[in-house]
Amino acid sequence: MTADSKLLYRPREAQAALGVKHAKFWELVKAGTFDVRKLGRSTFITAESLRRFAENLPKSAA
């Protein structure tokens, strides 16, 4: 499986992929921004919700 086909990200991986800090990431999670899944005690964020978030960010004027 390649990195492009990864379906789930652990929180630290998702933070790194988005380039956001810990506090901002969990603020977004609590706001319901991402599709969060549990597998046992582990938390995962779906790749699709990360992509959707990034695609919906406003474009820069610069």
Please report the sign of the dihedral spanned by the C-alpha atoms of residue 58, residue 61, residue 18, residue 20. negative
Q: What is the pLDDT of residues 15-44, one digit of tens each?
A: 999 999 999 999 999 999 999 999 999 999
pTM of structure: 0.83
pLDDT at 58 > cutoff 80: yes
Of all residues in the chain, the percent with pLDDT exceeding 90 is 87
* φ/ψ of residue 2, rounded to 5: -85, 165
Please report the sign of the dihedral spanned by the C-alpha atoms of residue 20, residue 22, residue 23, residue 26. positive
